Amino acid sequence: MKLKQSDLWMGLAILAAFFVLAWLPLAPGADGWLSIVVPITMYTVLATSWAIFSGPTHYVSLATAAFFGVGSYTLALGLESLPYPVLLIIAAILGAIMAALVGWATLRLSGVYFVIFTLGLAELTRQVFTWYQNNMGGTRGSYVFTDLTDAHIYWQLLALALLVYLVGWLINRSRLGFAIRIIGGDESVAKHSGINVAWSKIVLFMVSGSVAAVVGAILAPRFVYIEPSMAFNPQLSFMVVIMALLGGTQRLWGPLMGAIPFAFVWEIIASNFPAQTTLLMGVAFLLVVFYIPNGISGVLIRWYHKARSKPGVSHE
């Protein structure tokens, strides 16, 4: 399929936006609000890559924390022996391998088993790392000493976000993207159309897992000291799901629409009700699922169609 003129303009607009965003850390007083901008960028990358797999397949993955943690630990454990960029690549590969194994083992099963398995996976990896550090490593946690500041982390996340959008866009235009939409619509039709259902799902899950692992590696220096309960925090997985669903998973830009508002809301919740965060996260989840099942992007798309077409014609 040829590149449309509108795609080209969209691409240029996105590049321009990233260029502007890249100057953010140089603005006056940036240190203060980088502390909220870094998590927003992180969650945008995680939720967008989560939606690349879970959006079309409707398989809700709670494994983000597992990939993230493996990425963080790759960096923490390898920092003394290997150069930093190599560690990012290793994190990406480990994330992809882990996703392939999990996918191979579970994606043949129905959705519910997959959700439970991915939730268990994060816990399992956490326990394995804890056990290893207790019995073999000598210490509980690891120090991550680098010269990287919040600005460096932000720039890396921004570059990764650009890469995720590019990959997501390419997938959407590809046979694989078409295959995964058919699979999400009706697996039986997909099989009878000649689609390798398991393989398609595994490839997309690998993309998603690999990105989450790289995010974990990039974020590790920010923790300075990491231990399993931080690196494999299940709350991260739930946050990603809520943000992606709040934003909507039908478009690539959907999760962004969820990550930005929810990160601010979460900041308010965490500072005012530190003891009730889990409860309030559950409430947020219910509100999203009940009131905006197609997310903010879904609402925007509906308004757009309403404005364009005659009244009464719905595109739901």
Partner 1 sequence: MSSAVLLEVRNVVKRFGGLVAINGVSFDVHEHEVLGLIGPNGSGKTTMMNLISGALPATDGYIAMDDKLLTDLPTRKIARAGIARTFQLVRVIPSMTVLENVMAGAVFGHKKLWGHALAVYAERQLERVGLVGISHKLTADLTYIDQKRVELARALASDPKVILLDEWLAGLNPTELQTGIELIRSLRDDGRTVILVEHVMDAIRSLCDRCVVMSTGNIIAQGTPAEVLADPQVIEAYLGEDYE
Q: Which of 192, 290, 311, 312 binds partner 1 (CB under 8 A)?
A: 192
Q: Is 282 an interacting residue with respect to partner 1 (CB under 8 A)?
A: no
Looking at 104-112, 125-133, 164-172, 175-183, which segment touches partner 1 (CB under 8 A)?
175-183
Q: Which of 141, 163, 181, 292 binds partner 1 (CB under 8 A)?
A: 181
Q: Which of 63, 182, 236, 243 binds partner 1 (CB under 8 A)?
A: 182
The tokens for 26 are 């140089």
Q: Which of 193, 276, 277, 278 binds partner 1 (CB under 8 A)?
A: 193
Q: Is 195 an interacting residue with respect to partner 1 (CB under 8 A)?
A: yes
Quote the CA–CA distance of 64 and 118 in Å, as a whole number.
Answer: 8
Binding-site size for partner 1 (CB under 8 A) equals 20
Tell me the closest approach of the beta carbon of residue 1 to partner 1, in angstroms. Answer: 5
Name 29's Cβ contacts closer than 8 Å, sequence gap at least 6. Answer: none
- Single-letter code of the amino acid located at 292: I
Tell me the closest approach of the beta carbon of residue 306 to partner 1, in angstroms. Answer: 15
Q: Is 274 an interacting residue with respect to partner 1 (CB under 8 A)?
A: no
Q: Is 127 an interacting residue with respect to partner 1 (CB under 8 A)?
A: no
Q: Is 179 an interacting residue with respect to partner 1 (CB under 8 A)?
A: yes
User: Which residue(s) pair with 226 in the sheet?
Assistant: 142
Tell me the closest approach of the beta carbon of residue 250 to partner 1, in angstroms. Answer: 9
Tell me the closest approach of the beta carbon of residue 6 to partner 1, in angstroms. Answer: 17
Looking at 6-14, 73-81, 185-193, 298-306, which segment touches partner 1 (CB under 8 A)?
185-193
Q: Is 293 an interacting residue with respect to partner 1 (CB under 8 A)?
A: no
The tokens for 274 are 């530190």
Q: Is 3 an interacting residue with respect to partner 1 (CB under 8 A)?
A: no
Q: Is 302 an interacting residue with respect to partner 1 (CB under 8 A)?
A: no
Tell me the closest approach of the beta carbon of residue 191 to partner 1, in angstroms. Answer: 4
Of 30, 102, 14, 54, nearest in space to 240 by CA:
54
- Single-letter code of the amino acid located at 84: Y
Check: CB of residue 269 under 8 Å from CB of residue 280: yes
Q: Which of 17, 166, 189, 265 binds partner 1 (CB under 8 A)?
A: 189
Q: Which residue has the tokens 């921004």?
A: 158
Tell me the closest approach of the beta carbon of residue 22 to partner 1, in angstroms. Answer: 35
Which residue, 172 or 233, is less far from partner 1 as judged by CB?
172
Q: Is 178 an interacting residue with respect to partner 1 (CB under 8 A)?
A: yes
Contact positions toward partner 1, by CB under 8 A?
A: 1-2, 175, 178-179, 181-182, 185-186, 188-197, 315
